[in-house]
Amino acid sequence: MARSFVSASWDDLRGAQPELAAAGERLLSPNGSGVAFLATTRKDGGPRLHPVMPILADGRLHVFVVTMSYKHRDLLRDGRYALHAALPEGGGEEFFVTGPALATADPGRRAGVTAASGGRLGHNEFEALFELRLDRVLHARWAKWGTAEAWPTFSKWNAPG
């Protein structure tokens, strides 16, 4: 059973912090082709970490997760996740979100997410759809990336509530 959280949709982030949302959309490439890393919580409370392909559809961030996987069981049991965008070429930026992942069985939503992935994802029954709700969002821009003087500037947003 997923825990209860204060959380927001991607559209809520766009409304509150459009520049932060735009940075996320640029770095996540959320059309089913960009790779990001998803951390979930194992049964023993420790973290687990795997790549996923996020998809933005209808103002919400989603992932398909294979039902035979441990991360699927993690998300159904605990729901908490952290997602980090792959580093852009040359580095210098990070984009990171946390929140609860909510299993989504609505066929209309699923069809919309599959369409938003360019038809690449969501055709198989073993692909379970989750909405990644947001409670914290962080974007870091690093000055002097790759040097000993590297220093980040952070933009952050927490879901209201």
Partner 1 sequence: MARWQTLEKEAPEIAEKGRALIYQFGTGLGYLATLRPDGGLRLHPFCPVVTAGGIYARVIDSPKRRDLLARRSFAFHAFAPEDRDDEFMLTGTANLVEDPQVIETVAEAFHAAGATSSGDELTFEFDIDRALLALYKPRAEEGPHWPPEYHKWRAAS
Interface stretch with partner 1, choices 11-19, 36-44, 56-64, 106-114 (CB under 8 A):
36-44
Rule CB under 8 A: say whether 102 interacts with partner 1: no
Q: Nearest approach, Cβ of 53 to partner 1 (angstroms)?
A: 10
- Cα–Cα distances in angstroms (integers) from residue 36 to residues 18, 27, 47, 108, in the given order: 21, 9, 16, 25
Q: Per CB under 8 A, does 71 bind partner 1?
A: no
Taking the C-alpha atoms of residue 13 and residue 67, their distance in angstroms, rounded to an integer, is 29
The answer to the question of residue 148 lying near partner 1 (CB under 8 A) is yes
Closest approach, Cβ 111 to partner 1, in A, equals: 21
**Shortest separation between residue 44's beta carbon and partner 1, angstroms:** 8
Supply 25's token pair: 């959309």
- Per-residue burial over 8-34, b if 16 or more Cβ lie within 10 Å, else e, is bbbebbbeebeebbebbbebbbbbbeb
Q: How far is residue 16's CA from residue 149's CA, in Å, rounded to a whole number? A: 32
Q: Which positions touch partner 1 (CB under 8 A)?
A: 35, 37, 39-42, 45-51, 66, 80-84, 86-87, 94, 96, 98, 146-148, 150
